[in-house]
Amino acid sequence: MTTDSPLDRFLSQLPAQKSHPVARWQPSRSGVIDIRIAANGDWFHEGELIRREALVTLFASILRRDPDGYYLVTPAEKQRITVEDAPLLVSQLQHEGEGRTQRLLFLTRTGDAVEAGPAHRLWVEDSDGEPRPYLMIRDGLHARIGRNVFYQLVELAQPATVAGVERLGVWSNGLFLPLDGEDVNGR
């Protein structure tokens, strides 16, 4: 990537992401805490909305998905939480280029920035006849793509023939990401 790119300049202005090695932490103490992530991305503690964005961002940075659910994890303990849909929410999209050379950068409400591609796949599920788009973010955690961002993707969409079938989708990093259902690239 070149630093002359508007997308690269945008990325360089983002605060450094704090990454914790939650996948390596195997605490012996575990429990359940009354924290819920609502389908719209809001976080609640004991039924009350957590209004401090810095606290939500901190919690998101220590979030992990295990086979039996979602946990806030520290080296000393892990606490199971409730997630109604996806644990993260994509709130912004930046893009540059077009066609196969297009690059799509997604930003979550909690500070994750990922460029769609092989490691960060996009897929769309059907929810009662409505599209429900998602994006893989990190360490098995995915984000629901907000409606406004999905509309931006639809504006960028173009048809492509994949495995002999005409599909509607977007390109990022040379990878075709369909917006009309099943991910043709596997996930």
23 belongs to a structural domain = yes
Q: Is residue 50 a contact partner of residue 56, using CB atoms and an 8 Å limit?
A: yes
Question: What sign results for the dihedral spanned by CA atoms 143, 144, 150, 156?
Answer: positive
Q: Which of 83, 101, 119 is the last residue of a domain?
A: 83
Give dist(CA 20, CA 109) in Å, integer. Answer: 18
pLDDT at residue 180, as a whole number: 78
183 belongs to a structural domain = no
What is the DSSP-derived secondary structure letter of residue 71?
E
Place of tokens 């220590």: 62
Give dist(CA 14, CA 116) in Å, integer. Answer: 17
pLDDT at residue 86, as a whole number: 95
Residues 145, 132, single domain; the answer is yes
Domain count of the fold of the chain: 2
SS3 state of residue 163: coil
**Structural domain boundaries enclosing 111:** 88-178
Amino acid identity, position 80: R
77-83/29-37 β-pairing: parallel
Residues 79, 64, single domain; the answer is yes
Per-10-residue mean pLDDT, the chain, length 187: 51 55 88 94 94 90 94 91 96 91 93 91 86 91 94 92 86 88 51
Residues 98, 173, single domain; the answer is yes
